[in-house]
Every structure is written in structure tokens, then in C-alpha cells.
């Protein structure tokens, strides 16, 4: 392996950790949004659910790679 590839492994690992920790924040915000007693419109709930799903896929791909 080249020295360049070896030097970038650490930054990729740190980036994956930061991405996973930010996913935890997103997950907590989504949980709070759906469990609070305020009434939100259906399109807003669908939007939040879609964004959470896309963030889940993004985190899974980032951790896998």
C-alpha cells in the first residue's frame, strides 16, 4: 500500500465516528419530534421521516466503507 493511503485511514475513521455521533443527535431529535404532544402537519412528519431514513442510509454506507 502507498504511504498516501495509510495516511488517510485515520482521517476516514475519525470522519466515520463524527458522522455516527451526529446520527445519534439526529435520531434523538427525530424521537423527540414524534413523541411531543404538539400537532404537526402530515407533510412535515413525512419529511422528517424521509430525512431520518436518508441519514440512516448515509451513515450505514459511511460506516460500511
Query: How far is it, in rounded angstroms, from Cα 12 to Cα 65?
Result: 9
The total number of structural domains that make up the chain: 1
Query: How far is it, in rounded angstroms, from Cα 35 to Cα 14?
Result: 32
Please give the full DSSP string across 50-64, using - where no structure is assigned.
Answer: HHHHHHHHHHHHHHH
**pTM score, whole prediction:** 0.75
20 neighbors 63 (Cβ within 8 angstroms): yes
Give me the domain span that covers residue 39: 3-64
Give the tens place of pLDDT for each residue, 7-60.
677 788 888 889 889 999 999 999 999 999 888 899 999 999 999 999 999 999
Amino acid at each position: 500500500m502507498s504511504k498516501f493511503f495509510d495516511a488517510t485511514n485515520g482521517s476516514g475513521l475519525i470522519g466515520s465516528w463524527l458522522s455516527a455521533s451526529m446520527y445519534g443527535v439526529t435520531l434523538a431529535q427525530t424521537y423527540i419530534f414524534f413523541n411531543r404532544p404538539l400537532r404537526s402537519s402530515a407533510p412535515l412528519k413525512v419529511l422528517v421521516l424521509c430525512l431520518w431514513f436518508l441519514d440512516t442510509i448515509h451513515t450505514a454506507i459511511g460506516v460500511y466503507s
